[in-house]
Structure 1
Amino acid sequence: MSQVWSPSTRPLVEEAWRCYNSGAIRASIAATWTAVTADIITKLTRLADDGDNAAVPFRDEVARARANGLTREGVRAMQNIEATLLDKAASLELIDTIGVRELERIREDRNLCVHPSLRGDGDVYEPRPEVARGHLAVALTTLLTHPPIQGGKVLEAFTAYICDPLFVPTLPHIRATFFDRVRVATRRTLARFAAKHAVLEIGPIGQLPAAEHADRMAAALRAFAGRDRELVREVVAEQRDKFHVLGGGPQLRALTRLGDQDYFWGLVDEPLTERLREMLVAPAPVAWEPLPVDVTASLALVRSPYVRERIPSLVTRFDALSTFHRMAVVEASPDPYFVPMVAALLKEAVNYRMGERAGRILVQHAPFLTVEALGAALAAWYDNKECRHATDMPEFAVALFHGTTHLGPAGAAAFVAFLTKVQEHEEPGTYYSYPGLDTALQTAGYPPPHRPMAPRPPLQPSSDRS
């Protein structure tokens, strides 16, 4: 989080921490308040520089005080600025009213630390170490680690990020930028905004199709749920009444994008579950016709335990699909649930093209494979010539080997056994003897036992005796 601190703030925070560690508790509290004032002034000045008109008068007031320097007028001007600093930060949404109250306590304790005569009995204020530590923690979490962005502007920045043509659903980045570094109240605002658009499929006018925008908001909800699942569950449940009166298309698409998340099912009562079930298990096209993208995505929900529990007929529907259609579903949504099916897809491939597709699916599922699942898949691969002699399969074998390094020597042994059987039936050095896998195994220190070379015929004595 340090990258959001202003250059003037970091040394002050480090000084407060050093004072605390050395036992200089009064100095630590004073340094913490100094860091707070410096941070607010820097951030409000930056807001003004960035074009926020509401912050311009404050920036000009600070500039006038600084122009007077260490004169009586300059010191009095800065004291007046400090007296209203927390209220100004709240009005410009750097902090909320709770933050004002928490930071006000730091200021009060700082005054006791630097003005011991404030105690009526003449005793010197002796703050406890945990008070200093608590003040520093409050300052960091309430203000110092947050960027100089107002609550409304955070929402604007979030909307622009979601609608960016180069949007990539990188959940850790979304979480760090729009959850970890914003205030608690703003987190709820962003989560509610994302839930509304993801569930009700409300799109930004003229920027993105509503369904695509909802898919992106669903990714943001997943990111937020990684930090506060209960918050996401609450804001999603708030959409219940509006969701129930949506049309079938938006409801089915919402199920597709959110049905694998527990917080979605807080929206759905038993009658709506029955309605979704009827839409979800509608007949698929005939065996060799491609599945529509939306049908593929909805059938892929079979991977979710939440969906299997509430709509168990989807499992029957998936199992009844043709091999061609099951390949489409599994390929669209790689998941540990599909791992036991991959070997069956390799067995069922009836031509080279299907063999390659099954190999590609196996590579997609490499991170989820166990040693047993890998061995079963490689056995099915070897036994089906439509797989073993498909054009891309030798390359897929190398990709699969590199993708299963988490299995260690046991995984490598499965590849050695596979390659040994292949090389027993293929001409050495030919493409379908899998030379790339051979090289990869040897490079990793797992040389397969090669079959012996055929003996050369004995040399005949030369007839030239001269």
Structure 2
Amino acid sequence: MDNGFIDLDILLTRVRQPQSKIYFLDAVKAYKAGALRAALSSAWVAVVYDLIAKYRELGAMEDGAAIAFIQSWDAANAAGDIKRLLDLEARIIDDATTNTQIINRLAATHLDRLRQDRHLCAHPAFSAEAELFEPTPELVRLHLVNAIDLVLSQEPRQGKAIFEQFDADVQSTGFPNTEIRILDYVEQRYLARVRPQNVRNFGTVLAKSLLKGVPPRWEIQRRKIVSSLVAIRDRAPNSWPDLSQTIARLIDSIEPDNRQRAIAFIAAFPDFWPLLEAPTRTALQETAENIDATDIEDYRMLAAVTLPQFRNALLELIDELSGEQLRAAIAADPIPDLWPKAIGMYEESGSWRGSEANFRNVIAPFSGRLSSDQHDELLDAIVNNGQNWDAADTPSLSLGLLKNANAADYPTHDARNRFYLHLYRTRHIDRYEDVLALLQTDGWTLPPDPQDDDE
């Protein structure tokens, strides 16, 4: 845009801070009056004041770098330490670039030029002897426009401090658990506060966590990390193409020990598959085809069974899982393809306590994910084994599972009839009274008792 056609009065309406606007208005008035050196000096004062105001906002959001600078500034003010204040003023652009990262390096270059030109105006010692610095109207207007575009009109968006905040946040009980809430939360709390150029850095950190397990403390938060990366993809689409290329190169250079992680990542983000180099795709497919069930280090890789590139190999791997491995795989991610083996293991429970343990370990994790047919299989697995239907906790466990299902996914009426008639014959209706009551809430009615049919 040609600065000569920018109305400075209109630019003034873009200044966020009221006090900053007052300082900057002095610069505009001086410019219009032809006092160009005074205009530059006032513009610099407005920029410094506005950066301090932004630091106070960031401090309120617990940005450690901003808090440290403000504490030094306020302490120097309280002590009347002019030398210290001048030193802090001189390095505020560098601090805002490297520490809080609320301005980028290109902006820092322009603002540093403003600072240097301001010194030439305010301090004759900075000029060559017998020479008076005379800024041109075009130069002053450029500085005024840059001051608003780069600082005065901008919100205080966090830089590297956002990572420290996310680190604590994602491990806290206040971080959402459901994907849609995570998407909204990450967008509002992080993406809206991160400078666009830092979004890619944020996404790269999330991707490295998924691909390399760093930092280790995020391992148990993997599902939240995945959803947070989805938030960047869906809520910051302008940043996604560049970030995708960065992540694809991370996968291309992945160490052999982390290839199972890479397969798990591709399962969550299948659109990355065509972005990978051919040797990388080959290495990942060979990993899936050649691995033995006893060598699985990351059971989350099994989620790639939905992808045609891995399906046959991973189905064979799932079939080889021992009971202990099946429990570990379901704990990592209860994917649908693990259900047949899980329901088979539960149906063959060998004791009451074993039945209850199997329900908790290989059935309950599928809560809220089962279809009507799968609920049919569960009811049949209960009635087909006395260790299951007669176990003390089976009524409460099955009730809890059904409460988390949508009514549309309840067992079919035929399966419910079989279930009820078995309970009637074995005289367990009273124990399953709450389960039967829940199953009647969608219109199903209890079938006639066998003795009523005889009558």
Distance 1:414 1:41 in 2: 71
Deviant stretches of 4+, over 6 Å: 26-29, 56-63, 85-91, 97-101, 165-169, 442-445
Q: Structure 2 vs 1, CA of residues 429 and 262 (structure 1 numbering), >3 Å: closer, same or farther?
A: closer
Partner of 1:130: none
Q: Structure 2 vs 1, CA of residues 450 and 99 (structure 1 numbering), >3 Å: closer, same or farther?
A: farther
* Aligned-residue offset at 1:185: 0.9
Task: Specify the code of the residue in structure 1 equivalent to 2:388.
Answer: C
Matches within 5 A, 1:33-182: 33-34=15-16, 37=20, 42-46=53-57, 52=67, 54=69, 93-96=101-104, 143-144=154-155, 149=158, 151-161=159-169, 170=177, 172=182, 173-174=185-186, 176-182=188-194
Q: Is the 8 A contact 1:420 1:448 kept in 2?
A: yes
Partner of 1:186: 198
* Aligned-residue offset at 1:177: 3.1
* Aligned-residue offset at 1:339: 4.4
Distance 1:261 1:376 in 2: 31
Q: Size of the alignment, in residue pairs?
A: 350
Matches within 5 A, 1:200-279: 200-203=212-215, 210=216, 212-213=217-218, 216=221, 219-228=224-233, 230-240=241-251, 242-243=253-254, 246=255, 248-256=256-264, 259-262=267-270, 265=273, 266=276, 269-273=280-284, 276-277=287-288
Distance 2:412 2:329 in 1: 29
Partner of 1:309: 309
Q: Determine helix, strand or coil for the equivalent of 1:330.
A: helix
- Segments of structure 1 that go 5 or more residues without pairing to the other structure are 1-25, 64-80, 102-137, 204-209, 285-293, 455-466
Distance 1:90 1:254 in 2: 34
* Aligned-residue offset at 1:346: 4.2
Distance 1:352 1:48 in 2: 58
Partner of 2:369: 368
Q: Determine helix, strand or coil for the equivalent of 2:288.
A: helix
Distance 1:453 1:305 in 2: 49
* Aligned-residue offset at 1:187: 0.9
Partner of 2:296: 295
Distance 1:249 1:191 in 2: 22
* Aligned-residue offset at 1:316: 1.5
Deviations 1:380-431 (A, max 9, x none): 33223332222321112211221223427x6584675255223321226653
Partner of 1:336: 336
Q: Percent identity between the aligned chains? A: 16
Partner of 1:399: 400
Q: Structure 2 vs 1, CA of residues 100 and 419 (structure 1 numbering), >3 Å: closer, same or farther?
A: farther
Task: Specify the code of the residue in structure 2 equivalent to 1:277.
Answer: A
Q: Determine helix, strand or coil for the equivalent of 1:448.
A: coil
Distance 1:249 1:169 in 2: 31
Q: Determine helix, strand or coil for the equivalent of 1:304.
A: helix
Q: Structure 2 vs 1, CA of residues 97 and 310 (structure 1 numbering), >3 Å: closer, same or farther?
A: same
Deviations 1:278-314 (A, max 9, x none): 663x153xxxxxxxxx83743x533324665236322
Distance 1:342 1:177 in 2: 39
Partner of 1:379: 380
Distance 1:452 1:264 in 2: 58
Distance 2:381 2:280 in 1: 43
Q: Structure 2 vs 1, CA of residues 250 and 56 (structure 1 numbering), >3 Å: closer, same or farther?
A: same
Q: Is the 8 A contact 1:349 1:358 kept in 2?
A: yes
Q: Structure 2 vs 1, CA of residues 152 and 343 (structure 1 numbering), >3 Å: closer, same or farther?
A: closer
Answering whether residue 355 of structure 2 is matched by residue 355 of structure 1, we say yes
* Aligned-residue offset at 1:183: 1.5
Q: Is the 8 A contact 1:199 1:214 kept in 2?
A: no
Task: Specify the code of the residue in structure 2 equivalent to 1:199.
Answer: L
Partner of 1:124: none
Distance 1:53 1:320 in 2: 57
Deviations 1:38-74 (A, max 9, x none): 78663234457876455578879999xxxxxxxxxxx
Deviations 1:337-393 (A, max 9, x none): 444555444444444445334534334323222223322332333223332222321
Q: Structure 2 vs 1, CA of residues 444 and 201 (structure 1 numbering), >3 Å: closer, same or farther?
A: closer
* Aligned-residue offset at 1:30: 5.5
Distance 1:405 1:87 in 2: 56
Distance 2:401 2:214 in 1: 41
Distance 1:48 1:176 in 2: 18
Distance 1:416 1:193 in 2: 49
Structure 2 length-normalised TM: 0.58
Distance 2:162 2:12 in 1: 31
Q: Is the 8 A contact 1:233 1:263 kept in 2?
A: no
Distance 1:375 1:177 in 2: 43
Q: Determine helix, strand or coil for the equivalent of 2:247.
A: helix
Q: Is the 8 A contact 1:191 1:224 kept in 2?
A: yes
Q: Is the 8 A contact 1:161 1:167 kept in 2?
A: yes
Task: Specify the code of the residue in structure 1 equivalent to 2:395.
Answer: P
Distance 2:329 2:76 in 1: 63
Distance 1:301 1:453 in 2: 53
Q: Is the 8 A contact 1:308 1:315 kept in 2?
A: no
Deviations 1:214-235 (A, max 9, x none): 6657853541233325454322
Distance 1:258 1:216 in 2: 18
Aligned CA RMSD, in angstroms, stands at 5.0
Distance 1:27 1:403 in 2: 59
Q: Is the 8 A contact 1:198 1:217 kept in 2?
A: yes
